[in-house]
Structure 1
């Protein structure tokens, strides 16, 4: 069986610059809708929205300094929860632009929010709220992130703190009566 490969696999990460301005939100991933992502309804299949959000997360990990070398050291970030809100359809070939903001973090966890927009019209297509946990892959359990990663997360979180919290963050799913 073939394993899933992100578009950023093998690209490493760029060095962190404490003096560099941190965009709010981060815009690290864009991609056209692949023909293999289109379902029998003629638009992007629901599972592929998660795939694209995952690729956006991988771009974010590399922004933080988490790449293959980091993972080879026995550490990684794992997704433990995701809430996706699908707003509009995307058809084959249409451009997607992703943004990500850090909502919160502590020594072991990161709470992020993604937005997927149409790359030409700017229409909001979907959002994803995710909780990530830092893991010691050798022990198979959560672990504290190294100081340099926590430092970078703090800087990103501070840059993103001025952004309004999206209405969907933290909302439970259910049928309202």
Structure 2
């Protein structure tokens, strides 16, 4: 039975629309939309909703463990294995105390997806744009200006979902906030949201893994590391230093590993049949600056392959400059048991041939290096 984690705020917690400050009533079990989702899909749905939760901000007034980015790693590891993670956050970021924008909220949700992918790489992700708030009732002052700040939020979240390869839905397509406080859902709208998102979650879990680039498969017996990625750095990969953000180095190396596995035969059909890989560890070294528009080229060498373990060495170049390396350890998995297992025979043969072909190459500088500098 699929396991789904809902990562949200008070509307995922089931908070009742409030009529006075300090009220903290919660709908009975079965009413909140995650419970409705579980009922409609028959899946195991784990609701991790906290009133006041933000995407990445510590709350200077209400305090508490409300910073989503700070608590997400523990929640992911507590509930693993997970088949999907649904993230519906951003409403509390609209409070004037955080002085943020719709664009920044979307970028913050994108960061949550990056955290999710790093810790539960097999889980699919659905980003849900929260239902728009209304400045009314006892929460009008707490959300002063939110109606203006939320303009364009759904579009920015949709763009973020596209960038990170996540699915996307809008809660506002199915539910509206209560006129009592302008923030929380009433019972009827919880039901409507759970029913509406059931189709999105079902489609997400039935979708094949992300498509690979249409790159001809190399000869696995060739004695050189094949080129597994070639692309220009897109504008959306920029960071505050105006160069490639560190999160997208992992994206590039992950795509390179996917390409190698696709060549070996671990395609969508293989995964649907129950054979996949889980990432155990990735060590990235940043050796040179990469700018927007630069032509990336990644080569991937098989250090260990053919059995349950897959040990890869990636090198990222911009023209002749080595700008980053990644050492990656993965395990072949039987998805029916969520336990390590030998790969399918054809996949194992291809990877074993690549390992043998790459073995005579000298070990690269930085191989098996831990984080830290050598003592001098």
- Same-fold status (TM-score > 0.5): yes
Q: What is the Cα deviation at residue 105 of structure 1?
A: 2.7
Distance 1:144 1:155 in 2: 16
Partner of 1:114: 314
Is the CA contact (8 Å cut-off) linking 1:25 and 1:101 kept in structure 2? yes
Moved more, 163-172 or 77-86: 163-172
> Matched residue pairs, number?
173
Is the CA contact (8 Å cut-off) linking 1:97 and 1:116 kept in structure 2? yes
Alignment counterpart, residue 65 of structure 1, candidates 259, 265, 268: 265
Q: What is the Cα deviation at residue 131 of structure 1?
A: 0.3
Residues 128-167 of structure 1 aligned to structure 2 (within 5 Å) = 128-167=326-365
Partner of 2:211: 10
Partner of 1:125: 323
Question: Are 1:52 and 2:256 an aligned pair?
Answer: no
Partner of 1:101: 301
- After TM superposition, the runs of 4+ consecutive aligned structure 1 residues lying more than 6 A away are 12-17
Distance 1:176 1:12 in 2: 39
Q: TM-score, normalised by structure 2?
A: 0.43
Distance 1:13 1:149 in 2: 18
Distance 2:244 2:360 in 1: 32
Is the CA contact (8 Å cut-off) linking 2:275 and 2:344 kept in structure 1? no
Question: Are 1:174 and 2:174 an aligned pair?
Answer: no
Is the CA contact (8 Å cut-off) linking 2:221 and 2:354 kept in structure 1? no
- RMSD of the alignment, in Å? 2.6
Q: SS in structure 2 opposite 1:51?
A: helix
Q: What is the Cα deviation at residue 57 of structure 1?
A: 0.7
Partner of 1:79: 279
Q: Give unpaired runs (5+ residues) of structure 1.
A: none
Q: What is the Cα deviation at residue 46 of structure 1?
A: 0.7
Q: What is the Cα deviation at residue 163 of structure 1?
A: 1.2
Question: Which has more strand, going by share of residues?
Answer: 1
Distance 2:244 2:215 in 1: 31
Distance 2:215 2:372 in 1: 41
Q: Give unpaired runs (5+ residues) of structure 2.
A: 1-126, 128-160, 167-208
Q: What is the Cα deviation at residue 174 of structure 1?
A: 2.6
Q: What is the Cα deviation at residue 16 of structure 1?
A: 7.5
Moved more, 150-159 or 108-117: 150-159
Distance 2:334 2:291 in 1: 39
Q: SS in structure 2 opposite 1:112?
A: strand
Distance 1:13 1:139, change over 3 A: farther
Distance 1:151 1:35, change over 3 A: same
Q: TM-score, normalised by structure 1?
A: 0.87
Question: Which has more helix, going by share of residues?
Answer: 2
Distance 2:210 2:301 in 1: 22
Distance 1:44 1:12 in 2: 21
Distance 2:251 2:214 in 1: 21
Question: Are 1:42 and 2:202 an aligned pair?
Answer: no
